[in-house]
């Protein structure tokens, strides 16, 4: 489909001209055909468009699966996937997703969020963090809510999801190496984290009050429905996810966001993401924050 046209369903990842053999001296042969099949499969199953420069990453991550399954070739492994082994599909997607994150990443978003929360009626405020990764982002959302309402029990419900089941387990545990929180303000660290001792020395755990604010589920944004997400949402964080999708796939996901988001709700995107191809769906408020294009009385280009 063309950008902005809701009638399309997205395409498959394009083929790429590469040398017939992708790297010599490897444990397993990895051909252009193998890499192209991987690109097609991950695009179809998860919407991810792998760039040609990702060939070394694909080899190193999937070679581990060949060893674990005692397989001799990528052709054998990909044929096994195509036979429909659900558990391996999950591992395949987990292997090829990137989970770079940190607490209060792109900090200006959380400053803007706090102001937005205080303008909302103090009913249960619904937030969806659609790419939770290992949990730093949903816990940053929870901390922001606690600070906004000066309470460890703010009127906020956070749903956190990811396609990768492994990172969701880490997120739900709320336990991190201490170096992951070294950049946090000392007062935040004192108020919202518990320091490990004994065998847990060198680790921190988020306070249980924060964990109670968050529920987790696995969600593939390409799925036809997201039954675990309850609208209307006041806030939707979908940051640094869309960069992995082509424009038609982005449009279809954004189109599904619209009815889930409250008319005055806000969508937060990553710093390198732009939705100019979907101006019929979302209007930019600046600094990668968006509102619904159909919101009445809105002033384009104003930051909330």
Whole-angstrom Cα distance, residue 151 to residue 159?
19
> Cα-flanking dihedrals φ and ψ of residue 3, to 5°?
-55, 130
Task: Out of 39, 126, 162, 283, pick the active-site residue.
Answer: 162
From the DSSP assignment, how many helices (H) and strands (E) are in the chain?
10, 10
Task: Out of 36, 61, 180, 205, pick the active-site residue.
Answer: 61
- 266 contacts 295 by C-beta, under 8 angstroms: no
Using CB atoms within 10 A of its CB, is residue 177 exposed (0-12), middle (13-18) or buried (19+)? exposed
> CA 215, 204, 171: angle at the middle one, nearest 5?
25
234 annotated active-site = no
162 annotated active-site = yes
How many angstroms separate the Cα of 101 from the Cα of each of 118, 133, 141, 150? 26, 7, 13, 26
Q: What is the DSSP letter of 303?
A: -
- 48 contacts 54 by C-beta, under 8 angstroms: no
Q: Is the peptide bond before 138 cis (omega within 30 degrees of 0)?
A: no
The DSSP result for 185-244, as a single string, is -HHHHHHHEEE--GGGTTEEEE-HHHHHTEEEEE--TTSS--TT--S-EEEEE--S-GGG
Closest CA to 134 of 93, 171, 97: 171
Catalytic residue numbers?
61, 162
């Amino acid at each position: 489909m063309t950008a902005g046209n809701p009638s399309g369903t997205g395409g498959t990842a394009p083929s790429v001209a590469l040398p017939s053999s992708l790297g010599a001296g490897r444990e397993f042969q990895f051909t252009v055909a193998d890499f192209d099949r991987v690109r097609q499969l991950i695009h179809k199953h998860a919407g991810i468009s792998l760039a040609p420069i990702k060939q070394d990453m694909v080899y190193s991550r999937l070679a581990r699966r060949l060893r674990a399954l005692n397989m001799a070739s990528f052709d054998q492994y990909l044929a096994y996937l195509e036979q429909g082994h659900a558990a391996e599909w999950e591992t395949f997607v987990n292997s090829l997703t990137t989970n770079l994150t940190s607490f209060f990443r792109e900090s200006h978003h959380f400053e803007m969020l706090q102001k937005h929360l205080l303008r909302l009626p103090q009913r249960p405020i619904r937030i969806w963090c659609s790419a939770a990764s290992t949990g730093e982002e949903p816990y940053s959302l929870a901390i922001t809510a606690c600070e906004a309402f000066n309470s460890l029990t703010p009127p906020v419900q956070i749903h956190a999801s990811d396609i990768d089941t492994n990172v969701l387990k880490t997120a739900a545990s709320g336990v991190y190496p201490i170096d992951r929180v070294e950049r946090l303000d000392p007062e935040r660290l004192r108020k919202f984290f518990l320091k490990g001792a004994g065998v847990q020395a060198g680790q921190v755990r988020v306070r249980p009050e924060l964990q109670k604010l968050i529920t987790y589920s696995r969600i593939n944004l390409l799925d036809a429905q997201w039954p675990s997400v309850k609208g209307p949402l006041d806030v939707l964080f979908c940051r640094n996810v869309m960069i992995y999708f082509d424009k038609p796939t982005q449009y279809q996901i954004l189109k599904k966001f619209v009815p889930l988001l409250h008319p005055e709700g806000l969508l937060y995107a990553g710093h390198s993401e732009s939705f100019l191809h979907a101006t019929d769906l979302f209007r930019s408020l600046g600094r990668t924050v968006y509102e619904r294009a159909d919101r009445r009385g809105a002033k384009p280009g104003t930051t909330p």
